[in-house]
Amino acid sequence: KELLILNELVEAIKNKEFTAYVQPKVELYRGRIYGMEALARWNSPKLGSVSPADFIPIAERAGFIREIDMQILEQILVWMQKRQYNGKKIVPVAVNISPEHFYHPDFIDTLITLVQKYFADPQYIIIEVTESLSLVNIEYAQKMLVRLRSLGFQTSVDDFGIGYSSLSYLQRLKFTEIKIDRSFITKIHEQGTATIVRAILQMAQSLEMTSIAEGIETKEQFELLKQIGCNVAQGYYFFKPMPLEEIDEKEII
Ligand code: C2E
Ligand code: MG
Ligand code: MG
């Protein structure tokens, strides 16, 4: 299966077979759309629809991930520019950047070039990286985050809580937002889990970061998270990831 995917990936990148879907993030108290996350979808002519959980790790290992990340970002930028041109509202969109891409020496230059090409305001782009990233080289990660911030970009730490880092590493890495991993949200009804989530929320708040609960699926999880003091969440309970056209057509923002 891996070999099949790997073979098709080369063509897929060349033919731009990837599509950016977006999943809105919702403010729990006011119900407003806080932002969105871009998620890659791949409908291969030969393999059909392939899950990112399958093709992203293969693309990472094969050294193709930079192309995919940037194709997704470009689609988001085109969309934002069109909405702005039409006088429509835009909200910040997070793009997932794999660690090997984030650490690539050309990452920031490529990013700036693309953003300038579409006259985008960096404030509307959130660079989302996984928590495990800091394990590679925390000093370098710190420098990158400072640079991104000084250029006006927002930053987000994905799947927080399942990596091997400690809460205190957040002090050194000044992300704009922190995304609490879905595994905590699924077990939020358990006392111990709720306590951990509350601690993460408090820590994030004192560091002036926005916390986002990932993968909220039920009303019960929604109510519990609100009680604990979580402000923003993303999950099937509100929206599934959807094509950009659907956001426009249904006037979701
Ligand atoms: P992620 O960044 O943590 O994205 C969240 C995943 O959870 C998405 O899976 C999303 O569809 C799913 N999800 C959202 N709400 C719920 C929910 O309520 N319940 C459940 N069960 N799942 C929910 P998806 O789209 O399959 O993506 C999987 C992973 O692939 C992402 O995890 C991300 O790490 C990676 N990925 C996706 N697109 C890109 C990309 O363009 N570049 C890179 N480097 N990685 C990407
Ligand atoms: Mg993500
Ligand atoms: Mg995540």
> Confidence class of residue 18 from pLDDT cuts 50, 70 and 90?
very high
Q: Which two tokens stand for residue 28?
A: 């729990």
Neighbours of 220 (CB within 10 A): 12
Question: Of all protein residues, whose CA lies closest to atom 26 belonging to ligand 1?
Answer: 52
Rounded to whole angstroms, the Cα distance separating 42 from 56 reads 10
Average pLDDT of the segment spanning 67-81: 98
Per-residue pLDDT for 102 more than 80? yes
SS3 of 22-44: EEEEEECCCCCEEEEEEEEEEEE
State whether residue 191 is helix, strand or coil.
helix
Average pLDDT of the segment spanning 176-182: 96
pLDDT at res. 63: 96
pLDDT at res. 171: 86
Average pLDDT, the chain: 95
Q: Give me ligand 1 centre to Cα 166, in Å.
A: 23
Q: Is the CB of 40 under 6 A from ligand 1?
A: yes
- Identify which of 23, 41, 61, 96 to mutate to test ligand 1's pocket (most ligand atoms within 8 A of the CB): 96
Closest ligand to C-alpha of residue 59 is 1
Q: Give me ligand 1 centre to Cα 51, in Å.
A: 9
CA 161 to chain centre: 16
- Identify which of 18, 39, 101, 156 to mutate to test ligand 1's pocket (most ligand atoms within 8 A of the CB): 39
For residue range 49-69, what is the model confidence (pLDDT) as tens digits?
999 999 999 999 999 999 999
Q: Where are the beta strands (DSSP E) in 90-237?
A: 93-96, 125-130, 154-160, 177-180, 210-214, 232-234
Per-residue pLDDT for 168 more than 90? no
Neighbours of 130 (CB within 10 A): 21
Per-residue pLDDT for 91 more than 80? yes
Q: What is the pTM of this model?
A: 0.98
Answer for the pair 173, 142: CB distance below 8 angstroms, yes or no: yes
Average pLDDT of the segment spanning 112-123: 98
Phi, psi of 189 (to 5 degrees): -75, -15
